[in-house]
Amino acid sequence: MSVILNEIRRATYLDSIVLMRISRQIASLPGVEEAGLILGTPANKDLLREAGILGPGGDAAEAGDLILALRARDEATGEAAVAEAKRLLDHPGASGAPASIGSPRTIRAAVKAMPAANLALISVPGHFAVAEARKALGLGLHVMIFSDNVPIEEEVALKREARDRGLLVMGPDCGTAIVGGAPLAFANVVPRGDIGIIGASGTGIQEVSCLIARAGRGISHAIGTGARDLNADVGAITTLMAIDALDANTVTRHVVLISKPPATSVAKLVLDRVARSPKPFTICFLGAEDLPLPANARAASTLKAAAETCLGQSVTTGQAKPQPLRPDRGKLVRGLFAGGTFCAEAQIVFQRARLAVASNAAVPGASPLADAKGAHVMIDLGADEFTRGRPHPMIEPTVRDGPLNAAFADPAVGVILLDVVLGYGAHPDPARHVAGVLAGRGGPLVVATVTGTDSDPQRRTAQVRTLVEAGAIVAESNADAAAIAIGAIGETA
């Protein structure tokens, strides 16, 4: 009979990515059915409870405590797994992640160690993120909040406070930024240049910046705003401040603005501010192409189009061609995305081809997944229902294995769409993992896109080669991949 074991480490903090990697190593041990390493906040304990690995010991943890929880096939296996987890926690570098020994333990200590720093990146559980951000603002730092699960009313209050101080808050849930050439969080290594990006979407910033880089141009700054900045409650506080900053930046000659459709009142506010800028803008509000734009702005319906509009040239070279479906397969397309914006963009391409799509990503006109039988399906595997208590698929590609195997097993699926996202923070070799799942299998065509550059740690050309050798069709952009999938099933994009 399976056993559940919990241990608590009082007042212990390690970076969430370190904890995810250790969790993955423990969960992969023989006889371990599930494992988690997580701080003892009420929300996190709910995650462990839902996973069936929270015992009375773990339930007694306080918010600042670290819970080690696992379920194993028997007591001896569980005890051995606990011992290995303790070893990895005592020596975090052994998990493949950099150890934090010797690093400052507070923001104030970090400022003392780096007095020239002007930005703090906050990556702690959402329960603690606002307090840490306020400390950073009080020390005169701009703030990037990678953390999510921050109540929207706290986001509004924090951004208003920062605005009053003349400081920028990127986030919460800000996955990507490039400031002065430095890639932050999930970001890619791209050249410096004269194009600025403001994005409520992390993968949207990544795709556009990488397409620009591969076309031989560069980025001045890419400012993430957080996914909710263009909500009516927040009122585009960070977006408007970012426009001010890029207006004042003499290097920036063109600005790209990326978001899912904003609230109507907020869209007017933002576009009125754009109209007062002396610089040209590309506006990519995915799913809302018909907004009236000022004279200095042009609309882009996809991320690829956003890159092409600001560049004034095509970003597609040597595009892959559709291939015929295998005769034993149906004509449905299954999209399995690590990036939520890629999922939304693929839906838009399908909708423009008058094809019905079901998805768990919120795009106007999309059908709910409950009605997905017999339909093309696009799934955002980075959404909360897939990542609660588990690593994001950009960090851990095994998150996609279950849905990918299910797509191969479904004879109605003729094409599988995948995104592979590179850069700092992402898995060190995601294409190799995907290729291992594809190896030796017939069935659906696999159409993939690789977002990244050859300056990234994973090297884009090497990742593309790995996927092609495994039998995948690799497109130049996510929008192109969707168009290739549509062509493969005999439709036109």
Residuewise pLDDT in 10s, the chain (493 residues): 799 999 999 877 676 667 877 887 898 899 999 898 888 888 788 888 888 899 998 999 988 889 999 999 999 999 999 999 999 988 765 545 444 445 787 899 999 999 999 999 998 878 889 999 999 999 999 999 998 889 999 999 999 999 999 999 999 999 999 999 999 999 999 999 999 999 998 999 999 999 999 999 999 999 999 999 999 999 999 999 999 999 999 999 999 999 988 989 999 999 999 999 999 999 999 988 788 999 999 999 999 999 999 999 988 766 666 677 888 899 999 999 999 999 999 999 999 999 989 887 656 555 556 556 778 999 999 886 777 666 788 988 888 998 999 999 999 999 999 999 999 889 999 999 999 999 878 889 999 999 999 999 999 999 999 999 999 999 999 999 999 999 999 865 5
Residues 12 and 33 both lie in one domain: yes
Residue 364: cis peptide before it, omega within 30 degrees of 0: no
Q: Which of 95, 126, 157 is the last residue of a domain?
A: 95
Q: Provide the pLDDT for residue 64.
A: 82
SS3 of 256-307: the string is EEEECCCCHHHHHHHHHHHHCCCCCEEEEECCCCCCCCCCCEEECCCHHHHH
Residues 166 and 287 both lie in one domain: yes
Contact indicator for 222, 174 with CB cutoff of 8 Å: no
Residue 322 falls inside a structural domain: no
Look up the CATH number of the domain holding residue 25: 3.30.70
Q: Provide the pLDDT for residue 491.
A: 65
Which amino acid, 72?
A: A
Q: Provide the pLDDT for residue 473.
A: 94
Residues 297 and 393 both lie in one domain: no
Residue 319 falls inside a structural domain: no
Q: For residue 311, give the DSSP letter.
A: H
Report the b/e string of 51-85 with b at 16+ CB within 10 A.
bebbbeebeebeeebbbbbbbbeeeebbeebbebb
Separation of CA 149 from chain center:
15
Residue 256 falls inside a structural domain: yes
Q: Provide the pLDDT for residue 12.
A: 75
Q: Provide the pLDDT for residue 367.
A: 58
Look up the CATH number of the domain holding residue 236: 3.40.50.261
- Which pTM was predicted? 0.86
Residue 323 falls inside a structural domain: no
Determine the structural domain holding residue 293 and report its residue range.
107-311
Residues 247 and 376 both lie in one domain: no
Q: At residue 193, what are phi and psi to the nearest 5 degrees? A: -165, -155
Q: At residue 156, what are phi and psi to the nearest 5 degrees? A: -60, -50
Residue 325 falls inside a structural domain: no
Residue 121 falls inside a structural domain: yes
Q: Which of 95, 125, 148 is the last residue of a domain?
A: 95
Q: Provide the pLDDT for residue 365.
A: 54
Residue 262 falls inside a structural domain: yes
Give kind and range of the element (H or E) at residue 474. Answer: strand 473-475
Residues 267 and 125 both lie in one domain: yes
Number of domains in the chain: 3
Residue 100 falls inside a structural domain: no
Q: Which of 46, 70, 95 is the last residue of a domain?
A: 95
Residues 368 and 454 both lie in one domain: yes
